Amino acid sequence: MFQEQKFVVPELNGISKKTIEEHLKLYAGYVKHSNLILEKIKEYSIDSEKNGFAINELQRRFGFEFDGMRNHEYYFKSLEGSAKGLPENSTLKSSVEKEWGSWDAWITRFKSICMTRGIGWAILYYDPESKKLINAWVDEQHLGHLTGIKWIFGVDVWEHSYLLDYVPSDKKKYVEAFFENVNWLNIEENFKAATI
């Protein structure tokens, strides 16, 4: 069974406590439904021939719920411990600069991905095969995740992540606020774990 993680998210600039509280409830729902789906698949598998269609549809739904759970765990971890920048000798920063020329060039590019129309996630991955950082857009929670690579950083740009604070046409203000609150030391830890 998957366990709901507890996150200590401090007061944020531009993202209200109420938004975080409601967002954490959505995360709890992903954990709950990931577990429920696995229970149902196990139950239906007793007669998998009779329940084949239901099992297949539950399996399809599992990707949505599981990725929603994991995406949010990375998301909330990036906000724990208050906003902190990276030191000059950061391995993540030097890798970003190697890939995009400068930290600021990558930030600009990544924020533009956040502005993709529709619901989803902007994600920075590390590909251990090519040893490259890769930016990506993932629709919903699960459509477009790249295979065999590691999550480093991501921004939830579903409207639920900012609707209590901003109207949909102000998504850019939410993205800017999110970046003001990131604890980049936590993101550096993700990068170090991915490159081991």
Residue ending a domain, choose from 38, 54, 77: 77
pTM higher than 0.85 for the full model? yes
Q: Residue holding tokens 């929603």?
A: 68
Same domain, yes or no, for 100 and 71? no
Choose among 162, 184, 170: nearest CA to 79: 184
Strand positions, DSSP E, 71-131 = 120-127
Residues 42-53: pLDDT tens digits?
999 999 999 999
Q: What is d(CA 6, CA 77) in angstroms, rounded to the nearest whole number?
A: 10
Question: What is the CATH number for 21?
Answer: 1.10.287
Q: The domain spanning residue 166 has which CATH number?
A: 3.55.40.20
**Together in a domain, 115 and 168:** yes
Residue 139 in domain: yes
In this structure, the answer to whether residues 56 and 101 fall within a common structural domain is no
What is the number of domains present in the chain?
Answer: 2
Of 43, 77, 111, which one is at a domain's C-terminal end? 77
> At which of 77, 101, 122 does a domain end?
77
Q: What is the pLDDT, as a whole number, of residue 80?
A: 98
Answer whether residue 7 is part of any domain: no
Separation of alpha carbons 156 and 123, rounded Å: 9
pLDDT value for 76:
98
pLDDT of residue 137: 98
Kind of pairing, strands 120-127 and 132-139?
antiparallel
Examine residue 140 and state whether it is found in any structural domain, yes or no. yes
In a domain, 8, yes or no: no
Residues of the chain below pLDDT 70: none
Residues 128 and 168 in one domain: yes
Domain assignment of residue 57, given as a range: 17-77
